[in-house]
Amino acid sequence: MSQSTGTNVPRPDAAAQLDIYRRMLRIERNDDATRAQIRRGRITAPYYSARGQEVIPATISHLLTDDDKICTIYRGIQDMVAKDMPLRPLWAEICGRVDGTCKGKGGPMHLTHPETGVMVTTGIVGSSMPIANGFGWASLLDGKKHVTIAYFGDGASNIGAFHESLNLASVWKLPVIFVCANNGFAEHTRYENGTSVDFIARRAIGYGMPGFTVDGNDPFDMYAHAHAAIARARAGEGPTLLECKTFRFMGHVFGDADGYMTKEEKAAAVAADPLPAFRQKLIDSGLASEAQLAQLQAGLEAEVQDAIDFAFACEAPDVAELRRDVFAEEIAA
């Protein structure tokens, strides 16, 4: 566990803060639009909103390049949007259209976009981690300094894939950062009813790597720890586990009744919403004006609307797609 309040911890400068906020707002505007389309019945798909968790991928993505890779999970669109994946192919995919990034064959739980480093999005709890190690090994073989982020949730820290992956990454000193968004619930199960330790970061000790519990809703704490972990990985010093404490505002799957949490705890979390809080901080510290942030928001909303319009104008995939991409060679009709 860590303290990040020292004087020499990495701190985001003005441009970094604004970029982190831009990524947070892009996630939130996109999420809001997604839920609106689902409510209107225009999209039929399970949707795992990450409303409330924006700080984590926004801060990490600010510190990555397109050559750095992410492996994420079904609650992962925030990780892609933060990584600046273009929204048109993203929306066409979640709408099941042929112009989707996966030609409509993956859907919202399985987006892939290698150009921005979005390598795998898995619907299986924990499975981002073993694959991230493979990208880490490839980085060592390439002799480049690229890093790979394995995103997962607190529930995934109880599955075997987590434990096997942390062990291998540590033994092989892989440039992988294990980023756990601890939102307090594994599907409907409260953290303490399914997890044996008070802090997931403590599990890093068992695998011989540094582990930190971070305020995942604080861009400054996130920046300090992510900066150090990424620098460590690029320097060949191996993996780090970051447990980022946060809260999901929309339950496990969009539309669930939240019966497993109290109204009070949810209300308290929503009242501490990191997005308006960071916005206010930018204004209070003089880094941005209301007008600038309104302009930023209008631009992002236009980008999202453009993507929605694009997606719904695209065609459904041809049934011949059933025979394509099973193997490199198309299967004969």
Partner 1 sequence: MSTQTMETAGMVKMTGQQAVSAALFQAMAEDSRVLVFGEDVADREGGGVMGTTKGLSAKFGDLRVRSTPIAEQSIMGAAIGAAMAGYKPVAEIMLMNFITVAMDMVVNHAAKLRFMSGGQSQVPIVIRTLTGAGWQTAGQHSDHFEGWFAHTAGIKVVAPSAPADYKGLLLSAIQDPDPVLFIENSRTLFVPGEVAADQGPIPLGKAKVVQDGRDVTLVTYSGMVQTCVAAAAELAKEGISAEVVDLRTLSPWDKDAVLASAEKTGRAVVVTEALRHFGPGAEIAATIQEELFGRLKAPVRRLGAPYCAVPFAKALEDAYLVQPADVMAAVKGIMR
Q: Which one of 27-35, 134-142, 191-199, 208-216 is the stretch in contact with partner 1 (CB under 8 A)? A: 134-142
Rule CB under 8 A: say whether 324 interacts with partner 1.
yes
Between 85 and 269, CB nearer to partner 1:
85
Return the residue of 3, 6, 8, 141 that touches partner 1, per CB under 8 A. 141
Structure tokens at 117: 């480093």
Beta carbon of residue 38, minimum distance to partner 1 (angstroms, whole number): 21
Rule CB under 8 A: say whether 168 interacts with partner 1.
yes
Beta carbon of residue 140, minimum distance to partner 1 (angstroms, whole number): 7
Beta carbon of residue 1, minimum distance to partner 1 (angstroms, whole number): 26
Rule CB under 8 A: say whether 333 interacts with partner 1.
no
Question: What is the rounded distance in angstroms from the CA atom of residue 292 to the CA atom of residue 298?
Answer: 10
Structure tokens at 270: 């929503």
Rule CB under 8 A: say whether 119 interacts with partner 1.
yes
Beta carbon of residue 112, minimum distance to partner 1 (angstroms, whole number): 4
Rule CB under 8 A: say whether 160 interacts with partner 1.
yes
Q: Please name which of 269, 220, 221, 223 lies closest in space to residue 247, comparing C-alpha atoms.
A: 269
Beta carbon of residue 103, minimum distance to partner 1 (angstroms, whole number): 3
Q: Give the list of residues 6+ apart from residue 133 with CB closer than 8 angstroms, or none.
A: 150, 165, 168, 169, 172, 174, 176
Q: Please name which of 125, 300, 150 lies closest in space to residue 239, comparing C-alpha atoms.
A: 150
Burial of 32 (0-12, 13-18, 19+ CB in 10 A): middle
Q: Please name which of 301, 263, 272, 277 lies closest in space to residue 32, comparing C-alpha atoms.
A: 301
Between 168 and 244, CB nearer to partner 1:
168
Residues within window 251-280 making contact with partner 1, judged by CB under 8 A: none
Residues within window 58-87 making contact with partner 1, judged by CB under 8 A: 69, 71
Beta carbon of residue 240, minimum distance to partner 1 (angstroms, whole number): 18
Q: What is the DSSP string of 58-106?
A: HHHHHT--TTSEEEEESS-HHHHHHTT--HHHHHHHHTT-TTSTTTTSS
In terms of phi and psi (left: phi > 0; alpha: psi -120 to 50; beta: otherwise), the region of 236 is left
Return the residue of 37, 53, 148, 217 that touches partner 1, per CB under 8 A. 148
In one-letter notation, the amino acid at residue 171 is: V
Rule CB under 8 A: say whether 104 interacts with partner 1.
yes
Q: Write phi, then psi, for 78 (nearest 5 degrees).
A: -60, -35
Rule CB under 8 A: say whether 326 interacts with partner 1.
yes
- Which stretches of the chain bind partner 1, using CB under 8 A? 69, 71, 100-106, 110, 112-114, 119-120, 122-124, 127, 129-142, 148, 160-161, 164-165, 167-168, 171-172, 324-328
